Amino acid sequence: MRTTTGIVVLIATLSIISFVGAQAGEFATSGTFPPSQTVDRIAYVTPKGYIVAVNSDGSEPKRMIPPEGRFAWPTWSPDGRMLAFSGLVTSPDGSHQASLYNYNSFNDQVARLFLGQPGVTSWVAARAPHYMNWSPDSSRLAFIASTRDGLKLYSTNLRVWQEANELLRRGPIWFDWSSNSLEMFAHRGTERLQIDVARAVPVKFDIRDTQLGSRVPQVRPGTNNVTYTTNNSGLSYDLKLSSESGTTTLVAGLPPGATFQWAPNGNVIAVTDPESVEIFRPLGVQVYKHISIFSSTGQHLGLEVEEPVIGFFWSPDSTKLLYASLVPNSNNLRWGLLDLNARESWALADFRPSIDQLVVLQFFDQYSRSHAQWAPTSDSFVFAGLLAGRGRSVSTNLQEVTNIYVVDTSKSPEINVLAEGSLAFWSPR
């Protein structure tokens, strides 16, 4: 069963010094975004902690902020025109503060959205001062930040400038947006909550069985129905849809701890079989030996991934499932692809992930909701690491500088190095 510590991960061997730099200005930018290039871009983190946005061929690079700060985890808005990112900066008195920034291509400016409390430098994930997730309409940014009172969930409205609203406290917290961008669904401990974002009002779901197995609640695309797993009479776990009226619909019978991902079209869902989960110690990741594809009505579509998978991501057109699996008899990982139309799967590339890429894979059920590996055209993806045969294991402190790769998804894929870097995500459009 998946660990309940979830998105909160502290890797003690990573030094906080790697994230500390001089305070960046309230507004800072370098270069300009040509109007034709405000979408279909890749944002990546350089070895020096810069955020750079480029075309998929590496052309038209734009660095988000000057070199005084070190930042990471670039997060595109769904319309592809804004880019949030965070880092630890040094305030004038020498204390460290976790700051959250946003680049807006409409005015070509970088603005600070949130300034953490002085001296609070705890991470919500490995080398991540914040976890961020945009609303579907790109108007609001929700984020989790560390405070002296623990982890808290905030939201800020970028169309009507305002201070970030506190929505929930007492993390760990996992959440997803409703399709109308007005509500969020959150999981905190044994609670499932529906949040009116504008009024910052959380309301608990009335779920009889509090032994809830899933970590990340997911909204079925195109609806405001939240998906979760719950215990059924103590015998089995069932994947259900909870509608606005409070009724539930059985989708598939599952054992405890199932992990699942809706395809973007909301018509199919990929589900793991948690009875065959084990831990791969060299990388510290959970391994799922089986993934099944179901329709929204619970019909098994006869499509399976029977490999030791640690994470998977739907293509934007909902026809392909990208997954990372273990390579037998090695510490390497392998990108593979399940093509629903062709009804077959094939290998794409063997690799060693960067530390940040490994975090994405460890918590793919959360990051897949907010950070895109896929190109908006569904024919390529981006990742950070080293191709197999190069570099040291990510389980050591001696890892070499990693690369950003762009890979197409054909049976004989072309793999191109975009730049040196530790993490990269594609704009959703």
CA 313/CA 206 separation, integer angstroms: 31
CA 359/CA 8 separation, integer angstroms: 10
If asked whether residues 147 and 291 sit together in one domain, one would say: no
DSSP state of 374: B
If asked whether residues 165 and 304 sit together in one domain, one would say: no
Residue 323 within any structural domain of the chain: yes
For residue 116, the model assigns a pLDDT of 82
For residue 97, the model assigns a pLDDT of 80
If asked whether residues 283 and 159 sit together in one domain, one would say: no
Bond prior to 172 in cis (omega within 30° of 0): yes
Cβ density class 219-251: b for 16+ within 10 Å, e for less: bbeebbbbbbbbbeeeeebbbbbbeeeeeeeeb
Q: Which of 117, 143, 172 is the last residue of a domain?
A: 172
357 three-class SS: helix
Pairing of strands 20-22, 82-90: parallel
For residue 43, the model assigns a pLDDT of 97
For residue 390, the model assigns a pLDDT of 47
If asked whether residues 136 and 279 sit together in one domain, one would say: no
For residue 328, the model assigns a pLDDT of 87
Residue 417 within any structural domain of the chain: yes
For residue 281, the model assigns a pLDDT of 64
Q: Give the chain's largest Cα–Cα span.
A: 61
Q: Which of 172, 205, 236 is the last residue of a domain?
A: 172
If asked whether residues 168 and 264 sit together in one domain, one would say: no
CATH number at residue 292: 2.130.10.120
For residue 321, the model assigns a pLDDT of 98
Residue 373 within any structural domain of the chain: yes
If asked whether residues 145 and 270 sit together in one domain, one would say: no
Taking alpha carbons only, the member of 323, 223, 235, 315 closest to residue 272 is: 323
If asked whether residues 278 and 382 sit together in one domain, one would say: yes
For residue 147, the model assigns a pLDDT of 87
Which residues, 6+ apart, have CB-to-CB distance to 271 below 8 Å?
A: 239, 252, 254, 258, 259, 260, 291, 292, 293, 294
If asked whether residues 154 and 29 sit together in one domain, one would say: yes
Domain that holds residue 89: 1-172
If asked whether residues 167 and 269 sit together in one domain, one would say: no
pTM: 0.85
Residue 19 within any structural domain of the chain: yes
Residue 139 within any structural domain of the chain: yes
Residue 401 within any structural domain of the chain: yes
If asked whether residues 161 and 302 sit together in one domain, one would say: no
Q: Total domain count for the chain? A: 2
Residue 374 within any structural domain of the chain: yes
For residue 212, the model assigns a pLDDT of 54
For residue 131, the model assigns a pLDDT of 94
- Adjacent-strand bridge partners of 131: 144
Residue 48 within any structural domain of the chain: yes
| Angle made by CA atoms 35, 37, 41, in degrees to the nearest 5 | 150
Tell me whether residue 281 is exposed, middle or buried, using C-beta atoms within 10 angstroms of its C-beta: 0 to 12, 13 to 18, 19 or more: exposed
For residue 6, the model assigns a pLDDT of 32
CA 376/CA 119 separation, integer angstroms: 39
For residue 27, the model assigns a pLDDT of 32
Q: State which H helix or E strand residue 313 sits in.
A: strand 309-314
Q: Which of 172, 201, 228 is the last residue of a domain?
A: 172
pLDDT tens-digit profile, the chain (429 residues): 343 333 222 222 222 223 333 333 333 344 444 444 457 899 999 999 999 999 999 999 999 876 566 799 999 999 999 999 998 777 677 667 888 999 998 888 898 899 887 766 677 766 788 999 999 999 999 999 988 888 999 999 998 777 899 999 988 899 999 989 999 988 887 788 889 998 898 887 765 554 555 678 888 898 777 777 665 543 334 555 444 445 555 555 665 567 889 999 999 999 887 655 566 666 677 888 889 998 887 788 999 999 999 999 999 999 999 999 999 888 899 999 999 999 999 999 999 999 999 999 988 999 999 999 999 999 999 999 999 854 343 443 445 789 999 999 999 999 999 999 999 999 998
